[in-house]
Every structure is written in C-alpha cells, then in structure tokens.
Structure 1
C-alpha cells in the first residue's frame, strides 16, 4: 500500500472573541474556509506507527503531533492498531494560522475510517477530533466552510461560492495562539458579532466581496506588534481588495477579484 492524500489549509473570514470561559478557553465566533493550498500526506504499510514531516527535503519530527494524538484516540475507541508510515510533506507554514496541524489530523482520521471500514459516523470523528484541537472538527466536514462557535468546535457547515484570487503572505514569524489570546483584554459585542458573521456568510454564499469587506473583522489584529502592522500595510499598498490576518496569525491573506501576485510569499527576513 502506498497512498497519497491532500490536507488543505484554512483561513478565517472573520474572527470575534466574545469572552473568556471558566475552562480558560475563549468563546469565539468565526467562519472557517478551506483553500486550495495543501500539505501532501503519503501513507505506507509498516511494522509500527511512524510519522515523519518533510520540509524542503529535510525530515523532522514533531513531538506529540496532532496526527499521533488523533490515531491514539482512534485506537482507544476501535481497539485497532495502525501500523503505518505516515510522511507529511509540509507546504502549509507551521504556526501561521492556516490550520495545517489540525487539517493533517482531520484528514488522517477520515482516511483511516474509510480505508479500514471502521464505520464511525461523522459525529464520532468530530467527538474524537475535539479532544485534539478546536480547529480539527472543521476538517472532518466535507463542506468548504463553516461558522464556528464555542471554542470553534461547534460548527454550522455551508459551501462557498466566493470567486477571487487568494494570496498568502507569511512573514516567517511564528505566533503562539496561546500568547495571542493572552494579549486580548477586551471582548467583542455578541450581537454585533452575530450580525457581521451572518453578513460574511451571505457574502461568501453569494460571491459579494464588497459585503465581506464591509463586515470583516479579526480581533487579533488589534494586538499585533508594530512590525506586523507595518508588514500588513506593505501588502495593502499592493492594492488588493482585502488584506487580513488569518486566525491568530502570522499569515496574512490578500483577496483580489482581478489579479494574483503570489500563491504563497514567505519573507526571508522578518
């Protein structure tokens, strides 16, 4: 057996932080949107479970990675061992706010369920994925988009009709999600956030980029340092229709109806 599957990135089209919860997570409201930018995962039969990551031809390991944690949970539920060599060819920047690790876990859980005929339901897989990370359940869905509530794991899926070029700019600077949340001291109004997120959903479904621009907001942009704010301004000077931070960063997304400059642009120095 030697199989290859694609693991898509996501962007957040709007991200509101509504409160801090008693469990120390934050209550958020967002829209996840898959994009055609992928890690490629190669799966081979093996004598034991091994997971390698490959970037620019170099093999490395990620301790306690999302794929491993997901497979452990799947094994607990099914009683089955998965003796596989899994090789993840990374294109999605690590720590860039594009959901690469969450996607890797989600697509592997779906693959294993189908390949081994485990007969787990979508809800079973979502329950497993919730234990791994707040973004992982989104990658269990077949739909291209979802409104995310709670920690991001309560999902309302829908499909996108948005037609524009997506450009990704990675400043070669990893931002810790935990540290970004710690910088948030004020919270967004729930009613205003609900209104805006529904307008963004309408914009995505009806391909209305102007409506998306009018309602777009990412709470993490309010706590960016001067270096990253200047980085964003430099991208805006290229005259895209909309430039924004994806998730907690550090990747910036630039949308344009008319032109594409880069699919992924990585700064050599930050």
Structure 2
C-alpha cells in the first residue's frame, strides 16, 4: 500500500507563554498543502525492513518517526513484519511538518493494511506520542492548533482555489534554534479573530512570531518574503519554526518564478 504524506503551512503563529515543562503554548492555524513524500508499506514473510530514498535523512533508520510509528502499533497489536520504504521529498527543518506527516501516514496505512479499525481519535492519540504536530495529519484538515500545537479546534477557513508558492532556501532551522530566540507574549487579538477577516487584511495583522528573531539572523528569509509580495502575493509568511517562506496568491503567479535556480520551490493550488 502506498500513500503520499503531505506538508502543511502555518497561517500565523502566536507564541503565548513558556510552559512549566519547557515547551511553549502557542496558537497557529495548520493548513495542508500538496507537497508530498511517498510512503509504501507491504507485509513480508522475511525480516522487517525500512529503506529510504530521495533527500538524505539524518540518523539511523530505526530512529525515523515512521519506524517508531510501526513499533508503537506493533507493541499493542502484534503486527507482522513489514517492508517500509520512504521516498523523501519534503525538506527537513523547513517548518512544513514533513516528518510528522510521514509518521501519521504510517499509522493510517498500518490501520488500513491490517484492518485494525482504529478511529481517528485513537490514531491521533498514538500520533501525539511521536511529535507535537503529528496528530494533525491524521484527519489532515485545517485546524486551529493550541497548547503545544497538539490540541486542535475547528476553524471555519476555506482557501480552496488559492495558489500557494513555497520556497525552501536550502538550509534547515532546528526547532531548538528557533525557540532559543523567542520572547512569548499574549497577543492583543486572537489569531482566530484575525483569520476570520479576508486574506487581503492578513499582511498587516497575521504574524508568525518566529520571524522577529530569525529574520535578523537569516536576512534571506526577509528578502524572500519581500519577493513573494513583489510577485503579487496577497499574504506571505514563514511556515512554523522552519526556514520555508510561502506566499498565497488569488491567481497563479507569473512564470518563471525568480528563485527556482537557487532554492527548492513547490507551487500548487489549495
């Protein structure tokens, strides 16, 4: 069975406060986009295996979130051996949730492949054990994420038909690095309220709080944001705590894009 784990973008990200456990409470809207990896899982009568292709993934295969997802379900449901192959396309440290998506899709494939009949809520509970935003990719629909980014509330937001351009500047930003420079504070306006207005208003109101500390450190990110607006983006922002910049366009942007020779670029329709 093969599926295609997809990325997500963050529409705004408010860092509210540091928690006693060392994490941060935040508010962000997670929105799925069509940049995908490819993940295949097959039962096997031989030894279980996990292989990789595409982008280089650091660490031992057994430390990959996909393999950890398999081990998590195997412990409770005595799953048979599998052959798993991940073709990695979504860049890492990019703020796109690619690794989290791979883990969640592993759970979903195993649920279908072995007819476990686990409901979405139970799959989300397993996914939360693997990473803060993993559970989002179980139902894979726009949500307002709160607390550590692992508690979801519904949001009435439909960007169907909008064009999105994602630009990864070919360097990652780790979660630890991103959080090291932040100063959390309670916002004047709730993100849900700000997103309820037309996207034409978001440029001046919907902010990713990581930009304040990361733009001075990585000026290219601010430059890319400016380029996206110069191309006609209605809204442009950093995604999550990673290095990807994205722009939302009401109409498809003019071709060719100015940064395809230097950076990794994906564009599509929401």
Q: Which TM class, normalised by the smaller chain length?
A: 0.7 to 0.9
Preserved contact between residue 169 and residue 266 of structure 1 (Cα < 8 Å): no
Preserved contact between residue 37 and residue 89 of structure 2 (Cα < 8 Å): yes
Preserved contact between residue 172 and residue 266 of structure 1 (Cα < 8 Å): no
Preserved contact between residue 221 and residue 245 of structure 2 (Cα < 8 Å): no
Instruction: Please list the CA deviations of residues 139-174 of structure 1 after superposition, one character each: whole Å capped at 9, or x if unmatched.
Output: 1115x2111011011011356521311001010011
Hey, what's the Cα distance between the residues in 2 that align with 1:266 and 1:77?
47
| Alignment partner, residue 152 of structure 2 | 155
| Alignment partner, residue 262 of structure 2 | 267
The 3-state SS of whatever aligns with 2:210 is helix
The 3-state SS of whatever aligns with 1:19 is strand
Q: Which runs of 5+ in 2 are unaligned?
A: 265-270
Instruction: Please list the CA deviations of residues 180-214 of structure 1 after superposition, one character each: whole Å capped at 9, or x if unmatched.
Output: 01111x22325x352x32331x35xxxx3214434
The 3-state SS of whatever aligns with 1:199 is helix
Pick aligned residue for 1:220 from 200, 210, 223: 210
Preserved contact between residue 41 and residue 109 of structure 2 (Cα < 8 Å): no
| Alignment partner, residue 167 of structure 1 | 165
Preserved contact between residue 15 and residue 24 of structure 2 (Cα < 8 Å): yes
Q: CA RMSD in A?
A: 2.4
Give 1:228 shift.
Answer: 2.7
Pick aligned residue for 1:199 from 194, 197, 209: 194
Pick aligned residue for 1:36 from 34, 37, 51: 34
| Alignment partner, residue 118 of structure 1 | 116
Q: Which runs of 5+ in 1 are unaligned?
A: none
The 3-state SS of whatever aligns with 1:136 is coil
Change (3 A) 1:240 1:81: same
TM-score by length of 1: 0.85
Where do residues 30-179 of structure 1 align in structure 2 (5 Å cutoff)?
30-46=28-44, 47-55=46-54, 62=61, 64-78=63-77, 80-142=78-140, 144-158=141-155, 160-162=157-159, 163-179=161-177
TM-score by length of 2: 0.85
Paired residues, what number? 255
The 3-state SS of whatever aligns with 1:36 is strand
| Alignment partner, residue 5 of structure 2 | 7
User: Greater CA deviation, 145-154 or 233-242?
Assistant: 233-242
Preserved contact between residue 48 and residue 82 of structure 1 (Cα < 8 Å): no
